[in-house]
Structure 1
Amino acid sequence: MMRFLPIAALAMVVPTVATAAPQRIVSLNLCADELLLRLAQPGQVASVTWLARDERQSTVANLAGGIPANGGAVEEILAARPDLVIAGTYTTRTTVRLLRLAGLEVLELPPPTTLEESREAIRTVAARIGAQERGEALLLDLNEKFAGAASVQAPIRTAVIGAYGFPTGPGSLLDDLIGRAGFTNIVRVQDENREFSLEDALLLRPQALIIDAEPGGGPALASEIVHHPALRKLAADIAIVSLPSRLWTCPGPQLGTAVDVLRRAAEGIHRRQRGY
């Protein structure tokens, strides 16, 4: 069982913060994992979260092998002797607070809600770890994937169904992406005093439902909605588009993959509407 170190002792085991490119970076957040593993030089990453190795959630599982994984505990972070920690603004808050009290540099990344915020996260991490060239290459790749993403046809009315079967409104990265791929999110106003259910979404008469699931994958909470009685009655009129959340949660080239999946789905819906 791990023993917790007193705050006064923490400063004795961490290095002095430097402004040069860090050489032992630790990540405490999956999105930080993905950016770090794509941008950092070999040997520059001291530890990533255990989520980075999970192919169901991570887009860099192939890059995470062989790199020590952490569970976000302050003791294991300190044991890695990092000169930079990258964290999310809503994750491992106690660990982040203790690391800062110990004098360690922590770079926090807010969850992106737009494509531009995703680009900014790439720029921020690349600049701090001394990987500006790799960052620019990643941005160029992302921009090329989004070139011409906007649909010239009428937007398809859609509702986005998250992992627990409830629709998602505006203000998310996925909401930005679907607009670029030819969809429009019809779930705009939600009553803060109650959950906005699938039935509520269906009353808005969507042409499509985007669900957090693997295309052709196994059972999942989101994909189970296709068996909902209310939806079965409307199955002929509503297209189901499966899009796993690992493609649209974090900044990176996978966003281009997500918008490509959505664009092709939109084209298929328009073809069916035209009768061929």
Structure 2
Amino acid sequence: MGVCALFLGGAIPAAADPNRIVSLDYCADAYVLALAERDHILALSADAARPYAWGRDRMAGIAQHDGSAEAILDLKPDLVIHSGLEHLKSVHMLDRFGIEIIDIGYSQSLDHGRKALLKVGAALGEDKKARHMLASIDGRLMAAQKQVAAMEKTHKRPSALYLTPSGITTGRGTYIDEVMALAGIDNQLAENGVDGWSSVGLEALAAKPPAMVITSFFQGRSGWNNAWRFSHHPLAKRIMDRARRVEVPANQWGCGGFFLVEAVETLIAARIRDEGPRLAETAFIKGAGK
């Protein structure tokens, strides 16, 4: 069994009833919190309560670990779940001790998040719960697409630049780009032919200032002053002040996953709010997808 069985045979339950579960990183934490019985969760990652972790408001009272193999072995888990984001040395050590491990992979798309949800659901014996969650997500995405289609009958698609306080942004092919597209927003960097994660300089911003800026990770970053120097620059502040700005909570897309639908809904709600009453009347479909 072990990891090989999971890769060769697909999503196979780690045990008949795994009830001593540990997750190794904040992306994996989300799946454990969403699907596992609470009293079956031994510990979450050290980042589980961070502002960018989806489970931060759902993990009160659950222990956290430091990611070391020793700390996890002391917990005596029967199932460990991770996304490959960190603690890979611990993963190798735990595997040598015969502990069942599920690698859901680091997601860069909603589709990957969907597959990971089903994989974890199968491993936990929570297939029904996972399928129910997936049906709910699909319904919400369908409602979102109806809203976007209604908007596009009366309004031009906005173009926006995604921006973090350190100047990190994205072009085509990332989950941020996918979320923007699902919300009916064109990615300014993708339009310029940029692929993947990138950084934007002040000169580029000044040469082509965005009409709309989608920001995230601006909260809870005290103490990281060097990395966050970009957002404190007077020119960057002036450009962002002049642009239409939409803030997406970091925990809605701190990594790719099933919860990206929340970021889609946040962006659509911001469009409806900012683009006027007529758009709200046209686009807001009460109860769609429920």
TM-score clears 0.5: yes
TM-score, length-normalised on structure 1?
Answer: 0.79
- 1:70 shift after superposition: 0.5
1:42 corresponds, among 31, 38, 41, to 38
The equivalent of 1:137 in structure 2 is 132
Q: Any stretches of 5+ residues in structure 2 without a counterpart?
A: 1-12, 280-290
- For residues 191 and 133 of structure 1, the distance between their equivalents in structure 2, rounded to whole angstroms, comes to 37
The equivalent of 1:225 in structure 2 is 231
- What count of residue pairs does the alignment treat as equivalent? 253
The equivalent of 1:9 in structure 2 is none
Map 1:19-30 to 2 at 5 A: 19-30=15-26
State the AA in 1 paired with 2:159. Answer: R
- 1:147 shift after superposition: 2.0
1:210 maps to 2:230: no
User: Aligned in 2, Cα 1:46/1:235: closer, same or farther, shift over 3 Å?
Assistant: closer
Q: Contact between 2:25 and 2:46, CA under 8 Å: does it hold in 1?
A: no
Map 1:166-245 to 2 at 5 A: 166-188=168-190, 189-190=193-194, 195-201=199-205, 203-213=207-217, 225=231, 228-229=234-235, 232=238, 235-236=241-242, 238-245=243-250
User: Aligned in 2, Cα 1:90/1:271: closer, same or farther, shift over 3 Å?
Assistant: same
Map 1:1-276 to 2 at 5 A: 19-54=15-50, 56-150=51-145, 151-152=148-149, 153=152, 154-188=156-190, 189-190=193-194, 195-201=199-205, 203-213=207-217, 225=231, 228-229=234-235, 232=238, 235-236=241-242, 238-250=243-255, 254-271=259-276
Q: Contact between 1:113 and 1:176, CA under 8 Å: does it hold in 2?
A: no
Q: Contact between 2:110 and 2:258, CA under 8 Å: does it hold in 1?
A: no
- 1:142 shift after superposition: 1.6
Q: Residue 82 of structure 2 aligns to a residue in which SS?
A: strand
User: Aligned in 2, Cα 1:93/1:212: closer, same or farther, shift over 3 Å?
Assistant: same
Q: Contact between 2:109 and 2:174, CA under 8 Å: does it hold in 1?
A: yes
Q: Contact between 1:49 and 1:69, CA under 8 Å: does it hold in 2?
A: yes
State the AA in 2 paired with 1:83. Answer: D
Aligned CA RMSD, in angstroms, stands at 3.1
State the AA in 1 paired with 2:173. Answer: G
- For residues 234 and 79 of structure 1, the distance between their equivalents in structure 2, rounded to whole angstroms, comes to 49
- 1:66 shift after superposition: 2.3
Q: Contact between 2:202 and 2:235, CA under 8 Å: does it hold in 1?
A: no
- For residues 50 and 185 of structure 1, the distance between their equivalents in structure 2, rounded to whole angstroms, comes to 33
Q: Residue 39 of structure 2 aligns to a residue in which SS?
A: coil
- 1:259 shift after superposition: 1.3
State the AA in 1 paired with 2:97. Answer: A
- 1:36 shift after superposition: 0.5
Q: Contact between 1:167 and 1:197, CA under 8 Å: does it hold in 2?
A: no
More RCO (CA 8 Å, sep 6+): 2
Q: Contact between 1:212 and 1:223, CA under 8 Å: does it hold in 2?
A: no
Q: Contact between 1:211 and 1:241, CA under 8 Å: does it hold in 2?
A: yes
User: Aligned in 2, Cα 1:205/1:226: closer, same or farther, shift over 3 Å?
Assistant: same
Bigger share in helix: 2
- 1:120 shift after superposition: 1.1
- 1:223 shift after superposition: 11
Q: Contact between 1:70 and 1:76, CA under 8 Å: does it hold in 2?
A: yes
The equivalent of 1:10 in structure 2 is none
- For residues 128 and 79 of structure 2, the distance between their equivalents in structure 1, rounded to whole angstroms, comes to 20
- For residues 228 and 265 of structure 2, the distance between their equivalents in structure 1, rounded to whole angstroms, comes to 21
TM-score, length-normalised on structure 2?
Answer: 0.75
User: Aligned in 2, Cα 1:42/1:229: closer, same or farther, shift over 3 Å?
Assistant: closer
- 1:87 shift after superposition: 1.0
- 1:171 shift after superposition: 2.2
- For residues 157 and 63 of structure 2, the distance between their equivalents in structure 1, rounded to whole angstroms, comes to 45
User: Aligned in 2, Cα 1:163/1:135: closer, same or farther, shift over 3 Å?
Assistant: farther
